[in-house]
Chain A
Amino acid sequence: MTRTARLLLFGVGAAGFGVVLVYGLSGLPAFGHYRGVYGHVLDGLGVTERHATDLVTALNFDFRGFDTLGEEFILFGSVLGVVLILREMRGEHERPREYEADEHTFGGASEALRALSLVLIPTILAIGVYIVVHGQITPGGGFQGGVILAAGPLAVFLAGRYLRMRIVAPAVLVEIGEAAGAMGYALVGLAGLVFAGVFFKDFLPLGIPGHLLSAGQIDLASVAVGLEVSGAFLVAYSEFLDQALIISGGSGPEDGEGGKS
């Protein structure tokens, strides 16, 4: 395609896009004027019906808990896909010598960086646990807290200690944690079916709004999702780290082809 034809094509596309964009923007409500009816209804129901002061978490783990079940398994499935793609392929091998060297010299982590990560690790873990268990009270919840928790072992790697990270978060434990979290969330829904008659219906006492043990099943669901998300991220991190630091590509061209098939 010549340069003129490409510019012509871009011009037509940009003009069409501009017209649609202006038309769409002109129909938007003014800034700060939310028109959703559903949102206004839920705003009034969070505290009175569910005793949860953070409406976003109440929405995710209660009002539309079933959607979150699907979302959780999207994450589970995508991490499974990452593991399948990144696992050791034919023609690849582990690097035993560098593997040991990594423990001592990788990244050339300075003393300052190590000291910083020593402070960071407990802080990150404490914040993560806080965010997971306070999901129904303050902003946060299982997903946010889970991602923060997964960053904790990553700080061990930041200190130049990849192998130590595998000791802190061993693959088997992380995988079991991820699976248990995914199962736990589904079990919360099933418990609703067994004890309250409807899938994902609250089956625990609602408690006093603002207290740690309040809002019924939301806290339990939040902990399950936190476990699942932190496990999922750690599994993905470990696979990427293995690929980059330990597994090496085939040495000859024949091995390379073997890896592709």
Chain B
Amino acid sequence: MTILQIVALAGVAIGGGAVVLAGDPLRQAIVLGIFGMALTMLFFVFQAPDVALSEIVVSTVGLPVMLLLALRKVREQERERERGEDE
């Protein structure tokens, strides 16, 4: 195993922990994108460029965007519910 591979594995381990430990869902979505980048590096140094190519777009663009939009929708619903209770 080369040093590069060990670094990539360590990056994924740290990134995975960081996603779990990031408390706020909004922050979690961003950390998830960075974790996806670490996964991409892992796939690349372990000679799976095909998987790395899908991973880089899905995990750094696709997934965070959908999460952020879902969060926005949920917060808006909460706000509307609060407004309904106030009336």
Give A contacts to B, CB under 8 Å. 31-32, 54, 56-57, 131, 139-141, 143-144, 147-148, 150-151, 154, 233, 236-237, 240-241, 243-245, 248-249, 251-253
Partner pick for B84 among A57, A144, A253, CB 8 A cutoff? A253
Q: Is B4 an interface residue (CB 8 A)?
A: no
Shortest Cβ distance from B58 into A: residue? A147
Given A143-B54, A144-B53, A248-B76, A151–B61 Cβ distance below 8 Å? yes
Give B contacts to A, CB under 8 Å. 1, 49-50, 52-54, 57-58, 61-62, 65-66, 69-70, 72-73, 76-77, 80, 84
Partner pick for B57 among A57, A148, A240, A245, CB 8 A cutoff? A148
Q: For chain A, what secondary structure do more than half of its interface residues adopt (helix, strand, loop), or is it mixed?
A: helix
Assembly CA distance A261 to B66 (angstroms): 25
Q: For chain B, what secondary structure do more than half of its interface residues adopt (helix, strand, loop), or is it mixed?
A: helix
Inter-chain contact B77/A147, CB cutoff 8 Å: no
Given contacts A147-B62, A241-B69, A249-B80, 15 further A-B contacts (CB under 8 A): A56-B50, A139-B49, A140-B50, A143-B54, A144-B50, A144-B54, A147-B57, A150-B57, A154-B65, A236-B66, A237-B65, A237-B66, A240-B66, A244-B73, A245-B69
Given A233-B62, A243-B73, A244-B73, A147–B80 Cβ distance below 8 Å? no
Partner pick for B70 among A54, A141, A244, CB 8 A cutoff? A244
Inter-chain contact A54/B50, CB cutoff 8 Å: yes
Which residues of chain B are within 8 angstroms of A148 by Cβ–Cβ distance?
53, 57
Inter-chain contact A57/B54, CB cutoff 8 Å: no
Inter-chain contact B62/A244, CB cutoff 8 Å: no
